[in-house]
Structure 1
Amino acid sequence: MHGPAMSGWMLVVLCTATGSYCLIRMRSCRGPGRKAAGGEALMGLGMAAMAVPATLFTLPRWHWMVYAVVFGAAAVHAVRPAGNGGRHLHHAVGCMAMVYMAAAMAGPGAHGAHTAGGVPLLTGVLLLYFAGYVLRSGLRLVPLAPAGGGPVPVADPAGSRPELVPACRVSMATAMLAMLLAL
């Protein structure tokens, strides 16, 4: 992504940690929960790879087209099931945002030339969506925090901490917001 290298590396660390946690969470989930964790792992690790600063190396144009195909397929996969519409719709929007950013990065002069990419109106709509998601979901996290001397949630033997799932989603949406700003 464009922008300072330090913020790019911070995004890489954040997204790698989130994606890795989602991979670990897949072990303890079954059915739709496992599928959601897998989608979130793909998104987190894909965002981490996309956020690697261009100062490290310049990727070939075909690399961004592979991103677009992978995340386009993930978007179709996310909207295909009929159940649990809200989360699947958010996964689809996130995947389509990744397709959009990959297409912008594959454009002429992108990634390394530090020119603006993408369509400003679409970028603005995606920024509004993810900003709204972060604010709405972030506010929902506040009651989840243990108050005073309340019981602290304990991880299950497989290493899954269900209270971290919403926090991971907020962190990925925040990273998406930062990536869109850097586009």
Structure 2
Amino acid sequence: MKVKSTPLQDCYIIEPTVFEDDRGYFFEKFNEKTFEELTSQNGHFVQDNISKSSYGVLRGLHLQKGEHAQAKLVSCLEGKVLDVAVDLRPDSPTFGKWYSIELTAENKLQLYVPRGFGHGFSVLSKTAVFSYKCDNFYNKESEGGVLWNDSDLNIDWQLPKKDVILSEKDMVMPAFSKGNF
């Protein structure tokens, strides 16, 4: 496993060591001890989530607030997504900055999104299956987020606006300037 820094403080790209031969491939998707040694972050995850979405679906930007805040280790198991992390920690030197990366079934990359970050993704392939490992349990009352097309953030989701498919919740998220995080 290799860990690469992103421009955002405490947010990392995880690249597995893949062993391939004529039968296929094998890789260790997660190892708590190695993860903690390489990132200095808590690697104890308590909940795994999977979503399947079609082209144009945009999920985000979401986070859990307060005592229910969640760090996530995310990956794409099928298809291709543009994954986006936004630092929403007011005391962070990278507050208000975002980072995006293509996660695909082929590249097998993962992104570690720390607590206090907004997170979302857009589906760039016909369908995508997305995996989230979370270090805290989901709590509906602790939901927060930022509007996906907030002009202060100016995120390029790599989708034509006419193709974006949103949930009702994502259509009415507050602006970054409202600080719902």
Higher strand share: 2
Q: TM-score, normalised by structure 1?
A: 0.22
Q: TM-score, normalised by structure 2?
A: 0.23
Higher helix share: 1
